[in-house]
Chains A and B, each alone.
Chain A
Amino acid sequence: MKADAAEPPAIAFREVSYAVAGVRILVELNLQVQRGETLVLLGRSGSGKTTTLKLVNRLLEPTSGEVQVNGLPQHDVIRLRRGIGYVIQDVGLFPHFNVERNIALVPKIEGWPEERIRARVQELLQMVGLEAGLAARYPHQLSGGQRQRVGVARALAADPGILLMDEPFGALDPLTRDELQREFLALQWRLHKTVVFVTHDLREALRLGTRIALLEAGRLVTLLSPEEFLRSSDPWASAYVRAFEDGPQAAFDRGKA
């Protein structure tokens, strides 16, 4: 998945800063996301990961600098957002719509014909590993894992080129999370979306990312492939690796020490 030299990056941050009431959340970020890659934004709570994500679909506006999507500064926010899938930790399914209507919302307001919408919903349910019979259920009748699968299906509905995922698997139990991570990889292998994925879990970052951008206090500390990240001598990166590298046995030992 090498990006064409002539082709602009899918997303480009140029000297982007973001501040609220004088507090700097993000400081002079320069970052390019290549077409078809999964860029993981890794960092602690408050490091600016989610802010970075929301600057892409303009839920937030940069204080200075520019965010380009597909090589252009975007002016029509609504058009921009409809071309970007958005998945959040709390899923945010519409509780008064059944699964089918949740998934079909964007195609519907984009005016797709009924038939095409129905076929697309079935295709998406299958794609995210849900039975066709679930289409008529309401969100409160689903398990957490099923809900997040619907969230992913909804984000993919209008076949956006870019997918933004904000700790999508963060609230799930470890087994379901593992399952969804595996399915994400299979899906990404098929679809080649440009994905920006926020997590604070190094394991998840190493497993899913083609590159990992480590943020600390609003600054991009380092940008590495998973292989490089593991061997990195960068103090922040190696601190992460150290904190995560021991397995269950070490955690047990430390707890009982």
Chain B
Amino acid sequence: MNVFRFIAQNRGEVLELTLQHLWLVGLSTIFAVAIGVPLGIIIARRSGLSKPVLAGANIIQTIPSLALFGFLLPLPWLGERADRLAILALTLYALLPIIRNTYTGIRGVDPAVVEAGRGMGLTDSQLLFQVQLPLALSVILSGVRVAVVISVGLATIAAAIGAGGLGEFIFRGLAMVNNQVILAGAIPAALLALSADVSVGWLERRLRPR
């Protein structure tokens, strides 16, 4: 049996698992941006905080994903549902590239531009929103891109704790020793990662300052 025939025959389930996958990745990315960008901004301003925050995000990154799912299991409310757990874990993994790129993006803005802005009487928030963030945007987005691509891959493991997503096919195929079933999960996941990579990359180039 051909993989694509298998996918076509099970298109209802493939579609459902793909949407679940997107849900896990999308929501966790939104959370990671909502937490990571402000954190990156804060540590770009207070350089004393940058080391501990980046080190913390780094440590999270080194925890094997399966183990992280396990560690988070006993948490109240979050541990009750597999998708909540998966979203939390994916959010944590996505933090590092987003925090780091926000930090380097803002720090990388030409100091003469910042000094001119400050000397002209821009307030801190005017400087941030009109100058620093727009100029750092493409660097921040490239962090988001890395985070999304990592998340699409990691989200397949979420199936191990019953959170759904395309990992379902992969684990099922492993149990059945059936490559076609594995590929029915792996191919859509790869396509998702690719298209996320391309579309965020396109956005990133569009917004790059000259």
Contact = CB atoms under 8 A, between A and B. Distances in A.
Decide whether A and B assemble into one complex. yes
Interface of A: 57, 59, 77-84, 86, 88, 90-96, 105-106, 109, 138, 140, 151, 154-155, 164
Given A88-B112, A90-B112, A91-B112, A96 B119 contact: no
B116 A109 contact: no
Nearest to A53: B119
Contacts of B120: 81-82, 86, 105-106, 154-155
Nearest to A89: B112
Nearest to A151: B116
B210 A140 contact: yes
B37 to A, nearest CB: 18
A156 B44 CA distance: 31
21 contacts: A78-B123, A81-B118, A86-B116, A86-B119, A88-B116, A91-B116, A92-B110, A92-B113, A92-B115, A92-B116, A93-B113, A94-B116, A94-B130, A94-B131, A95-B135, A95-B209, A95-B210, A105-B120, A106-B121, A109-B126, A155-B120
Nearest to B119: A86
A88 B115 contact: yes
B93 to A, nearest CB: 31
Contacts of A92: 110, 112-117
A26 to B, nearest CB: 18
B173 interface: no
A86 B131 CA distance: 17
A79 to B, nearest CB: 7
A95 B126 CA distance: 16
Interface in B94-124: 110, 112-123
Nearest to B122: A109
Contacts of B113: 92-95
B132 to A, nearest CB: 11
B113 to A, nearest CB: 5
B134 interface: yes
Contacts of B210: 95-96, 138, 140
Contacts of A83: 121
A84 B121 CA distance: 9
Interface in B128-151: 130-131, 134-135
A106 B70 CA distance: 54
Contacts of A151: 116
A43 B83 CA distance: 67
B135 A81 contact: no
Contacts of B114: 92
B136 to A, nearest CB: 11
**Residue among B116, B120, B209 with most chain A CB within 10 A:** B120
Given A109-B122, A138-B210, A94 B112 contact: no
Given A59-B118, A81-B119, A109-B126, 8 more contacts: A86-B116, A90-B110, A92-B113, A96-B135, A105-B120, A105-B130, A106-B121, A109-B122
B83 to A, nearest CB: 39
